[in-house]
Amino acid sequence: MGSFDIERIRQDFPILHQQVNGKPLVYLDNAATTQKPVAVLDAVNRYYREINSNVHRGAHRLSDLATREFEAARDTVQRFINAPHSHEIIWTRGTTESINLVAQAFGRNSFRPGDEILISAMEHHSNIVPWQILAQQTGAQLKVIPVHADAELDMEAFSRLLSERTRLVSVVHVSNALGTVNPVREIVRQAHEVGARVLLDGAQATPHWNVDVQTLDCDFYAFSGHKVFGPTGIGVLYGRTELLEQMAPYQAGGEMIEKVSFSGTTYNTLPYKFEAGTPHIAGAIGLAAAIDYLAQFDREQLLAHEQRLLEATLERAGADPQIQLIGRARDRASVFSFLLEGAHPNDVGTLLDQQGIAVRTGHHCAMPIMDQFNIPGTVRASFAFYNTLDEVERLFAGLEKCKTFLL
């Protein structure tokens, strides 16, 4: 695509063209989930209308077609994140399941008392609780990298916390609550120096730019289809072959076995060892359609547009003494987390909704970092490339209206 044609792009997303509470919808909750282009809706619809069948089992035409598309989708994801091998792409339900898979299949059998797991203070609950459970199960200790008041990771503390006891570092690539983009390459480099493995939570990175797991050199990478313009209920875990090979199965059942008898069972090869049961076939095909949809764009151009929206937002917010910005990292994604002084975030959210403006309010499943900032939660507006400067204006006009009711 030569020039960036926002109106044309918006035509690809039917859901955006509706009235909510009598006003044109302004959808600014993209960090929670993104909207789906027609290409994704059509791919899912076509799958169910034309080839729906179970994969890897039937010796019939439709099953063969479904299997091919399902496996082609895996190849599409492999190229999307530049994984060396297609068998390193494990289908999951989303980021949450991908992290739980690593905790249980990688950590549970190999971590011992005295081992350490390092996460950061800005993690989503899905990158906290699985490690707390694993720590209880194995006796390993969970340690937390602190976050500075400006919402950047304390990299000096990180270096100090790293030791030969560190088995795994699991950190968020981009924070959903603060927008902070973490220096993940440096984190991986330092972690590898002490022999630790690294899992990156890419739920909020993949919607904004092309991730390259080989450049990042991470050991595991997790993301969700629904945040990258694909369907809900499908997600991805990338893992290095050598680690996935060593890992025990995550769940047991059909597809993950090679041979079952009552005297013992042998497991299937990668990636199927980790994919027990009938998978979300339509979801995988829909996610591949989303990735193909994105491929027509120069993603740097889309990111530049999002950053313009963020800059315009921060400029407006900076000029308003009643707006308290939460998260001031220098490198940040298009997330605007804030408080309207004197107003509860939920009330702001409700009043914005009445004006057709969808934002998220609350702790954003990141209660520890909210505690650190001593706040119960924030109002969060998060942008995707289909948002417009006009919508930024609508948000601030909406906030002016909130003030007349709440302050």
Residues 207-226 that bind ligand 7TS (CB under 6 A): 224
Q: How far apart are CA 13 and CA 8, in angstroms?
A: 10
User: Which residue in the list 157, 312, 365, 375 is annotated as catalytic?
Assistant: 365
Instruction: Return the HEC string of the chain.
Output: CCCCCHHHHHHCCHHHCCEECCEECEECECCCCCCCCHHHHHHHHHHHHHHCCCCCCCCCHHHHHHHHHHHHHHHHHHHHCCCCCHHHEEEECCHHHHHHHHHHHHHCCCCCCCCEEEEECCCCHHHCHHHHHHHHHHCCEEEEECECCCCCECHHHHHHHCCCCEEEEEEECECCCCCEECCHHHHHHHHHHCCCEEEEECCCCCCCCCCCHHHHCCCEEEEEHHHHCCCCCCEEEEECHHHHHHCCCCCCCCCCEEEEECCEEEECCCCHHHCCCCCCHHHHHHHHHHHHHHHCCCHHHHHHHHHHHHHHHHHHHHCCCCEEECCCCCCECCEEEEEECCCCHHHHHHHHHHCCEECEEECCCCHHHHHHCCCCCEEEEECCCCCCHHHHHHHHHHHHHHHHHHC
180 binds ligand 7TS (CB under 6 A): no
Sequence-ordered list of residues with C-beta below 8 angstroms from that of 355, at least 6 positions apart, any chain = 21, 23, 394, 398, 401
Pairwise CA distance, residues 149 & 108, whole Å: 34
Q: Which stretch binds ligand 7TS (CB under 6 A): 82-90, 122-130, 318-326, 336-344?
A: 122-130
| Number of residues counted as binding ligand 7TS (CB under 6 A) | 17
Stretch binding ligand 7TS (CB under 6 A), from 70-78, 124-132, 161-169, 388-396? 124-132
**Contact flag: residue 206 with ligand 7TS (CB under 6 A):** no
Alpha carbon 242 to its chain centroid, in Å, reads: 24
Candidates 34, 176, 190, 206; binder of ligand 7TS (CB under 6 A) is: 176
Restricted to residues 127-156, the positions that interact with ligand 7TS (CB under 6 A) are: 127
333 makes contact with ligand 7TS (CB under 6 A): no
Q: Are 211 and 81 in contact (CB under 8 A)?
A: yes
The verdict on 402 binding ligand 7TS (CB under 6 A) reads no
Among 74, 143, 197, 360, binds ligand 7TS (CB under 6 A): 360
Q: Which is nearer to ligand 7TS, 237 or 402 (CB)?
A: 237
Nearest residue (CB) to ligand 7TS, 32 versus 367: 32
Does the footprint of ligand 7TS cover residue 361 (CB under 6 A)? no
- Give min distance, CB of 95 to ligand 7TS, in A: 4
Is 365 one of the catalytic residues? Answer: yes
Q: Does 326 bind ligand 7TS (CB under 6 A)?
A: no
Q: Which is nearer to ligand 7TS, 78 or 127 (CB)?
A: 127
As measured in angstroms, the least distance from the Cβ of 208 to ligand 7TS is 12
* Interface stretch with ligand 7TS, choices 56-64, 77-85, 337-345, 357-365 (CB under 6 A): 357-365
Closest approach of ligand 7TS to the CB of residue 124, in Å: 4
Residue (67 or 361) nearer to ligand 7TS, CB: 361
31 lies in the site for ligand 7TS, by CB under 6 A? yes
Tell the smallest beta-carbon distance from residue 190 to ligand 7TS (Å).
21
Site string for ligand 7TS, 42-81 (x = CB under 6 A): ----------------------------------------
Q: Exactly one of 35, 67, 76, 96 binds ligand 7TS (CB under 6 A); which one?
A: 96
Among 69, 115, 152, 201, contact with ligand 7TS (rule: CB under 6 A): 201
Residues lying near ligand 7TS in the complex (CB under 6 A) are found at 31-32, 94-96, 124, 126-127, 172, 176, 201, 203-204, 224, 360, 364-365
Catalytic residue positions, numbered? 365
